[in-house]
Structure 1
Amino acid sequence: MDDRQIRGTPRRGLASATLGFFIGFAGVVLYGPVATEFESAMGLSGLALGLLVAAPQLTGSLLRIPFGAWVDDVGPRRPFLVLLGLSIAGMAGLALLLTVFYPGGLTMELYPLVFLCGALSGCGIAVFSVGTTQTAYWYPKETQGTVLAVYAGLGNSSPGLFTLLLPVALAALGLTTAYLVWFGFLVAGTLAFARYAVDPPYFQLRAAGVDAETSRARAADHGQELFPGGDAFASVREAARIRRTWVLVALFFTSFGGFLALTVWLPSYWTTVHGMDVQSAGALTAVAFTLLAALVRIPGGVMSDRIGGELTAAGSFLLVAVGAGALVVSREYNIALGATVLVAVGMGVANAAVFQLVPKYVPEAVGGASGLVGGLGAFGGFVVPPVLGLFVDTYGSEGYATGFLVFVALAFVAVALSERLYRTQPTTAAEAAPADG
């Protein structure tokens, strides 16, 4: 392969990765903004509803680890397309079910199929780890922070935007047509990604049969500075042996897992506890929580660099505890709105703080630790909503507010873990992992 045949530019790599992430990550809110429609049509219990709105997070969290590792073998383009293709299959199945059975025939007997379609659609959420790697391989080391912030910030906006748009589409088009439009968007976006995306130079050369050493040298001539470091799963195994990795997983479970859980649960809270219509509940969730939590990650990262990730995490989780506690005890709209903003800021800042701590505590296995923290931490988005649903089954509509006790408890545990990290933090990066190995 002649070097002149290497295609693409860093800007094209960033743009295509961001496009793919934006398309796939919207699956976070597949059911949440219109959960009441499925609840009334299928007669769902609180637990069943919680499992359904969390279904996309099951695959979207756990598949981050293997697909992120697969990038180092084949490049990012193929894993991206496989995950987006699975998401298309899930959306096609859901659109077919709604076309044939909704509203009268969409009964509880079809719940396993609706859940399966949600889990398949959630595969697109897992592209986060793939796109992060694609962006990193296209850009030099000194620009990583900026380009990864652009990638994550723009891609993370899709759940908030879809939380706004899906209820509006429901009112204007009906449930079935709204999902058919989403299916068309997903197909069109995936085709655009397939047409536009190219692997970084190293992977193009490897695909053309060039050996690894020569590919590294020739890709470096095209500006690529980062390369696969060998067995990616070995890094995951190494990180898993370090206790502090699991502390960071627990913190991210509360911050990012909690963010995913509330993104899909808050619309039901606003409609049930405060009597809002579906459109208003979706808009409020998007503006006061989902988009806000995504945006404050940037200042959260700056704060973590200045005062330390441990103190930043402890303070932000304390905000979550205070906000969640207020949601438990108060039914006043203004207090609930202010409390939701507190929780959003706390979770958003904590998300940035936790990842600032990964290279500090797991310096010899940063890639593996990032995969475990990002994948298993995001699994909270699947675990927490069914637990919130149990509160609804136990306490009725009051359970939508009482269930925030879950976040009070998780936040206080996270504060304690953050404080312990601060008291036992290593004086040098080299001391971090061996002390816990």
Structure 2
Amino acid sequence: WQAVAEIWAASLALMAVVFWLTTTDDPAFRLRRERGVASKSLAQEFAPLQNIQVWRFSLYYFFAFGGFVALSLWLPRYLVGVYGFNLETAGMIAAAYSIPGSIFRAFGGMVSDKKGARSVMYAMFAVSAVATLILSLPAATITPVIFIAVIFVLGFFMSLGKAAVYKHIPAYYPESVGAVGGIVGMMGGLGGFILPIAFGFLKDMTGLWSSCFLLLFAIVAISLIWMHLSVKQLSRQSHSAPVAAT
């Protein structure tokens, strides 16, 4: 198994060389450097984080990315504990769930460009709410085939949502993409770390395997309501004028 790490390290080194040889600095950055324009201070870079909207985007990504990662980690244990799958089969199903996520995320970016990130976000939250509500039912009432089908649909729409969240950032914060994108990404990573622990805690406290999906449903419901109220507020403020990242 050590060869896996060695191959991965070699691939990273190769990509570093390719990146160094085939990319250039951002034109705006080059222009600022040529003109001797001073860089923003740390306080200026992080000033947008005072906006509650940034943390709303972070909540979206906490679910879309963090929830996706958490389910990838939790699925083998869930399938073994609920349906009695052997570990090898459960691991293969979890891999089949997680690997296409990168491909679907790219597709989500394409859809966000064509249909608008907000439309994709609404679709993700709506489908995720239905899916997590179904999966919140007692595990014994859902057959393995239905469970796997619903969880794959959920994973697909979560992957679309991951791209849609990041579509918003340059639209609303074109001068602070790095700082805002970094915070949003950090919250997604925290979701992938915290949620599996929360899943295990809920299982121990309630004895219900499906309690993890009830937690995800709560996050989805809060996110969807918050997003919808914010969209309505933006619409009122703009007097029906087009809003960025629609």
TM range, smaller chain: 0.7 to 0.9
- Tell me the SS of whatever aligns to 2:142: coil
Of 401, 404, 415, 2:224 maps to 415
- Once the two structures are superposed, the pairs formed by residues 91-170 of structure 1 within 5 Å of their partners are none
Distance 1:296 1:259 in 2: 12
1:335–1:368: structure 2 CA closer, same or farther, 3 Å change rule? same
Q: 1:311–1:419: 8 Å Cα contact kept in structure 2?
A: no
Report the Cα distance in structure 2 between the residues aligned to 1:187 and 1:301, rounded to whole angstroms.
28
Partner of 1:369: 180
Q: State the match for 1:267 in structure 2.
A: 76
Aligned pairs for 1:176-195 (under 5 A) are: 178=1, 180-193=2-15
Alpha-carbon offset, residue 234 of structure 1? 4.6
Unaligned runs of 5+ in 1: 1-177, 204-211, 218-227, 431-437
Instruction: Indicate yes or no: 2:210 matched with 1:401.
Output: yes
Question: Structure 1 residue 303 and structure 2 residue 120: aligned?
Answer: no
Q: 119, 125, 142: which one pairs with 1:317?
A: 125
Report the secondary structure of 1:338's partner residue: helix
In structure 2, the partner of 1:354 is: 165
Distance 1:214 1:370 in 2: 21
CA RMSD between the two structures:
3.0
Deviations 1:295-337 (CA, angstroms, capped at 9, x unpaired) = 2223322333344322321221121121122222143112101
Aligned position for 1:6: none
Q: Which has the higher contact order (CA 8 A, sep 6+)?
A: 2
Q: Aligned equivalents of 1:234 and 1:375: distance in 2? A: 19
Displacement of 1:230: 2.6
Alignment partners' CA distance in 2, 1:252 and 1:235: 24
SS at match of 1:334: helix
Once residues 348 and 361 of structure 1 are traced to their aligned partners in structure 2, the CA distance between those partners, rounded to angstroms, is 21
TM-score (norm 1): 0.47
8 Å contact from structure 1 (residues 269, 400) kept in 2: yes
- Percentage of pairs with the same residue: 24
Q: Look up the SS of the partner of 1:363 in the other structure.
A: coil
Stretches of structure 2 lacking an aligned partner (at least 5 in a row): none
Task: Look up the equivalent residue of 2:109 and give its one-letter code.
Answer: G
Partner of 1:388: 199
Match for 1:249 among 58, 68, 72?
58
Deviation at 1:196, TM superposition (A): 5.5
**Residue 113 of structure 1 aligns with which residue?**
none
What is the number of equivalent residue pairs in this alignment? Answer: 231
Residues 253, 378 of structure 1: 8 Å contact kept: yes
Cα shift at 1:261 = 1.0
**Which residue, 309, 327, 342 being the options, matches 2:135?**
327
2:145 maps to 1:344: no
Q: 1:188 to 1:292 in 2, by over 3 A?
A: closer
Cα deviation, residue 276, structure 1: 1.3
Q: 2:202 is aligned with what amino acid? A: F
Deviation of residue 418 (structure 1)? 2.3
When normalised by structure 2's length, the TM-score is 0.80
Q: C-alpha distance in 2, partners of 1:197/1:303?
A: 27
Distance, in Å, in 2 between the alignment partners of 1:335 and 1:345 is 15
SS at match of 1:198: helix
8 A contact 1:236–1:365 mirrored in 2: yes
> Over alpha carbons, which structure has the higher Rg?
1
* Aligned partners of 1:320 and 1:408 also within 8 Å: yes
Q: 1:236 to 1:248 in 2, by over 3 A?
A: farther
Distance 2:219 2:159 in 1: 15
| Helix, strand or coil at the partner of 2:99 | helix
Amino acid at match of 2:5: F
| Alpha-carbon offset, residue 343 of structure 1 | 1.1
| Counterpart-to-counterpart distance in 2, 1:252 and 1:367 | 16
Q: Using the alignment, how far apart are the partners of 1:317 and 1:189 within structure 2?
A: 36
